[in-house]
Amino acid sequence: MRKIPVIISFVILSISCAKEEPLAFSEVQLSADSFEACSTSNCPELNVQYLLATGNKEVSDIINGVIELHLVTILTSNQDDVQNVVTIKDAVTSFIADYKQFETDFGNSFIAYNADTNMMVSYFSEDLVSIKLDYYLFTGGAHGYGGTNYLNFNPKTAEILTSTTMYANEKEFLKYVENKFREEFQIPKDSTINATGFWFENDTFYLPQNVGFTESEVVLIYNQYEIASYAEGPILLTFPKEEVLEFLEFH
């Protein structure tokens, strides 16, 4: 019987230790110097920076898996055979190999490849962690391609937040944003949303694929080609949080 308090104490101590490891993030940086293949020959310009979640292992493992898959998809978007690419380092290695193959095929008379990613935590609360990713890749052609993505998680469960879980009333938020969009870009209320040259599918306004959060703002960004030409660049809308709190599931 005397062993029971010891066991209970051990369980309590274990739980306490687990609670002492909150979710946190550190930066990881990969450059050409990180790869042996670049030590003896030309390599693309590499500045691949991303975040590594630490602390709560169950949550951080899920978040790291999402971040990894997201970056692997971006870094290999110009390649056909990526079956063996699993990790971010694999993806950069594949990007380097693609560059070297291109160099072998066409010589040194082309502009060098470039991969640049930058990731940061734009907002962190008990209910939401919002991660912002800026990326740019150049693999030849008239111009490179890039954009800004947001990954939004519930920091307690690592659940990826979607329109269903982010908004208290998505339909009302949609109406509110459309009115602001029309004001910003001088689109008359009695005209279609594409009246001034936008590319909304079916001539129907919709929220962007990427919505993010900061301490004071809600950020909506339509990346290039999402609703307009490449030349128009990304289209950004920002709203003070207090202005749109009624539409959100969290504060």
Of 117, 132, 153, the one marking the end of a domain is 153
Does 13 map to a domain? no
Does 123 map to a domain? yes
pLDDT tens per residue across span 151-188: 999 999 999 998 888 999 999 999 999 999 999 999 99
Does 159 map to a domain? no
Are 85 and 181 in the same domain?
Answer: no
Does 12 map to a domain? no
CATH number, domain at 129? 3.30.565.40
Of 153, 182, 197, the one marking the end of a domain is 153
Of 131, 153, 175, the one marking the end of a domain is 153
Helix count and strand count (H, E) for the chain: 6, 8
C-alpha 41 chain-centroid distance: 32
pLDDT tens per residue across span 14-54: 444 445 589 999 999 999 999 998 988 888 999 999 999 99
For residue 217, the model assigns a pLDDT of 96
pTM of the model: 0.87
For residue 131, the model assigns a pLDDT of 98
Are 197 and 124 in the same domain?
Answer: no
pLDDT tens per residue across span 213-246: 999 999 999 999 999 999 899 999 999 999 999 9
For residue 19, the model assigns a pLDDT of 55
pLDDT tens per residue across span 100-144: 888 887 766 556 789 999 999 999 999 999 999 999 999 877 788
Q: What's the mean per-residue pLDDT of the chain?
A: 88
Closest CA to 30 of 62, 82, 72, 80: 72
Is residue 239 within 8 Å of 184, Cβ to Cβ?
A: no
Are 124 and 237 in the same domain?
Answer: no
CATH number, domain at 192? 3.90.640
3-state secondary structure of 120: strand
Are 48 and 136 in the same domain?
Answer: yes
Other beta carbons within 10 angstroms of residue 246's beta carbon come to 11
Which domain, by its residues, includes 230?
164-247
Are 61 and 128 in the same domain?
Answer: yes
Burial group, residue 157, by CB count within 10 angstroms (0-12, 13-18, 19+): exposed
- The total domain count for the chain is 2
Closest CA to 54 of 32, 85, 21, 5: 21
For residue 8, the model assigns a pLDDT of 42
Are 24 and 148 in the same domain?
Answer: yes
Does 243 map to a domain? yes
Are 130 and 207 in the same domain?
Answer: no
pLDDT tens per residue across span 46-96: 999 999 999 999 999 999 999 999 999 999 987 776 777 889 999 999 999
Are 77 and 143 in the same domain?
Answer: yes
Does 114 map to a domain? yes
Are 116 and 169 in the same domain?
Answer: no
189 vs 112, residue with greater confidence: 189
Q: Residue 233 gets which letter from DSSP?
A: -
